[in-house]
Structure 1
């Protein structure tokens, strides 16, 4: 049974570009498990048959007048993923960095050997401690980070 990986994101976040890069990478690195990549332009087509979903982060340049619509679309996609119960990771970066972020997020789904998975988890923990949040794709961590940024500072803090 092929793995189904869904790529989706708000307009202008590069889901199709990442799908093309992932397809080229997966074609160059043969695997015993076939992978189907699906780019969704509309979250209403989202279903629970996906092995994993990759949500494009809002880190690519966007004209200021389009940012509110892009942020609203991103919030709707996150809510739809949560409601559908689809596991997802947020992918950041440009070009090769975005592909590397996606491959890290898909490591377990693609059958990364356990030693590689342990090494990836250790490097991820080190990055989090070293404030490498732009490379983290954990939506819960991201939510915690941005929620904390919207709170007023504690009394006595500058």
Structure 2
């Protein structure tokens, strides 16, 4: 069975390297084998067993791969980190154009620190790593779903949550 692949792309300074390392560590902590590739494409098995089958292959890239393939999840780093200036918006726009032209689907990952890692894990279909951060996210999502907070979908990138929100809005409109 071929490994599930995760490509992490984003403007410079958006934490691609940090997320690749954190995602790799989280996968290993949950019993998965992983291969982490750097920007030059050099990869090292993180379990130290080069002959062992690998569950996940994580790559960090400045630009998206021109070829989309089955089993590839592309994560685009959000521009919500502190200290990112307006020049990053142009770089982000170019990345989104490249993803669109290559017809590569992608998920945007927002948050700082463990929140960003939790959102990346959700985007690739795995559970959270930090219970306190997860509970905080769930509480905020509950408040959003109940209409007590402003719409915050740009902060979580959770398709199931967005579906619930849109379904609820449509149901309210029909009444």
Report the TM range for the smaller structure's normalisation. 0.5 to 0.7
Separation (CA, whole Å) in 2 of partners of 1:85 and 1:76? 14
- Shift in Å, 1:136: 2.6
1:15 alignment partner in structure 2: 16
Give the secondary-structure state (helix, strand or coil) at the position aligned to 2:74. Answer: strand
2:30 alignment partner in structure 1: 29
More helix by share: 1
Give TM-score, length-normalised by structure 2: 0.60
Superposition map of 1:62-73 within 5 A: 62=83, 67-73=85-91
- Shift in Å, 1:85: 1.7
- Shift in Å, 1:48: 1.0
> Is 1:83 aligned to 2:101, yes or no?
yes
> Is 1:38 aligned to 2:66, yes or no?
no
1:99 is matched with which residue: 99, 102, 117? 117
Q: Structure 1 residues 125, 96: closer, same or farther in 2, change over 3 A?
A: closer
Separation (CA, whole Å) in 2 of partners of 1:62 and 1:29? 32
Please, what is the CA RMSD of the aligned residues?
Answer: 2.6
Separation (CA, whole Å) in 1 of partners of 2:63 and 2:98? 10
Q: Structure 1 residues 8, 127: closer, same or farther in 2, change over 3 A?
A: farther
2:7 alignment partner in structure 1: 6
> Is 1:52 aligned to 2:73, yes or no?
yes
Query: Any unmatched runs of 5+ in structure 1?
Result: 113-122, 142-158
Give TM-score, length-normalised by structure 1: 0.66
**Greater CA deviation, 14-23 or 124-133?**
124-133
- Shift in Å, 1:47: 2.5
Separation (CA, whole Å) in 1 of partners of 2:96 and 2:142? 27
Q: Structure 1 residues 90, 127: closer, same or farther in 2, change over 3 A?
A: farther
2:49 alignment partner in structure 1: none
Give the secondary-structure state (helix, strand or coil) at the position aligned to 1:53. Answer: strand
